[in-house]
Amino acid sequence: MKNIIIFASGSGSNAENIAQYFTNNSNVKIQAVFTNNAQAGVIARMEKFNIPCVVFNRAEYKDETFFLNKINQYQPDLIVLAGFLWLVPEFLVNAFPNKIINIHPALLPKFGGKGMYGMHVHEAVKAANETETGITIHYVNQHFDEGEPIFQAKVALTQTDTPDSIAHKIHDLEMAHFPKVIENLLF
């Protein structure tokens, strides 16, 4: 049995997709979703899967002993960031080397770094007149979006694409690829 913890800050569409993907897989269990947002949509999405949500604040997140104890209760084989917006502290990266992954809505190293998430990324891609964009699934280190890439998928862009249409294309790539990459990393 492989255990996953998901970290999410927002609506939880990626977390829900991952939970749905592994629903009937007896070899993988999503033990918990950790969120830094008590109002996050991911909390309601996880109810139908009976996946517990652990809400934490910044002080708890920065408290190495407290936070590692909280995570270790779930014995994760993999920690998956799915729309989680805080920088992962160095103690957590060190405790789980090559066991924390993130998905980014662009082809890193382009359009990464602090503040580059969601529509900010899609607006930057459009402003740069890119002819393609995509997703990058990467290992997490102590810097935003600088960990070693694991997987990238690309999609073509046209002059008529808008940040909203780019977001839809990226969402489709995330839904298609993220769960499969997680599964491949686990086995």
Q: How far apart are CA 137 and CA 171, in angstroms?
A: 13
Q: How far apart are CA 44 and CA 50, in angstroms?
A: 10
* Catalytic choice (104, 120, 138, 168): 104
Q: How far apart are CA 15 and CA 19, in angstroms?
A: 6
Residue 26: both structure tokens together: 């007896």
Q: How far apart are CA 103 and CA 101, in angstroms?
A: 7
Which residues contact residue 99 at a Cβ distance below 8 angstroms, ignoring those fewer than 6 apart? 76, 77, 78, 79
Residue 104 among the catalytic residues = yes
The phi, psi pair for 34, rounded to 5°, reads -100, 130
* Terminal-to-terminal C-alpha distance of the chain: 10
Q: At residue 148, what is the residue type?
A: E
Q: Could you give the residue numbers annotated as active site?
A: 104
